[in-house]
Structures are given as structure tokens and as C-alpha cells.
Amino acid sequence: MYTAAGTQGTLFERMEMELLELAPDRAVGRIPVQGNTQPAGLLHGGASVVLAETLGSLAAQAHAGPGRNAVGIEVSATHHRGAREGYVTGTATALHLGRTTASYEIVITDDAGKRVCTSRLTCMILG
């Protein structure tokens, strides 16, 4: 498991996110469903978006390299099914790695491997 720098006291920590893999073209992480639910007991759609944007942004930062920053400029998500227990795992896969932008598709699955959410993120590379 990787440690994401600067995550103390952030949403990353509050959601109990775990970073499992990180490279410029791919990032994998997970969150527990418990503690990240809506009142009906299902994984909150916003939690899926936070996981997706975090994974894509971390991969984009790895792509940007030292002395540069990556910031999200567009995110979208389609929620396919609910999750009530266990973990959901997100895999961010690069669609475009350019000089000024990086785009990722993030697929979030439940413990059974069923797709919970599909998200897309574009980051701007600064610096």
C-alpha cells in the first residue's frame, strides 16, 4: 500500500481511503462502504466521486512530475448500482497524458467485482 503525501486531516484520511497502486497512467485505491454511506445505508454517490477524483488527481500529479501540480477541472460520474458493505475499489486508467492536461476513466467496483460507478476526470497540469 502506498502513502499519499499530505493526506493527514484531509478527506482522504476521513474516508479511510487506501492507495494500493500509483503510476502516471494508473492508480488504484479503495474505501470502506461503512462510514461513507447515505441515510438509506448505500454507498454515497459523492463518496464514489471523491474516490474517483482522488485517484485520477494522484495519477495526474505523478504524470506532472516534480515542480508541477495537477488540479481537477472536470469530473463526471454515472452510478450503476449500490453497495451496502465491504469495500469499493477504484481503478483510474489514463485516457490522455498531455503536456497541459491529463484525462482518466475511473471504474469503481464492489467486492464481487460488479461495477458500481464509472467516472471521468480531466486535470490541468500547472507549472
Task: Just list the catalytic residues.
Answer: 53
3 state SS of 8: coil
CB atoms within 10 A of CB 53: 21
End-to-end, the C-alpha distance of the chain in Å comes to 29
What span, in angstroms and rounded, lies between the C-alpha atoms of 34 and 104? Answer: 26
3-state secondary structure 29-74: EEEECCCCECCCCCECHHHHHHHHHHHHHHHHHHHHCCCCEEEEEE
Helix (H) or strand (E) holding 126: strand 115-126
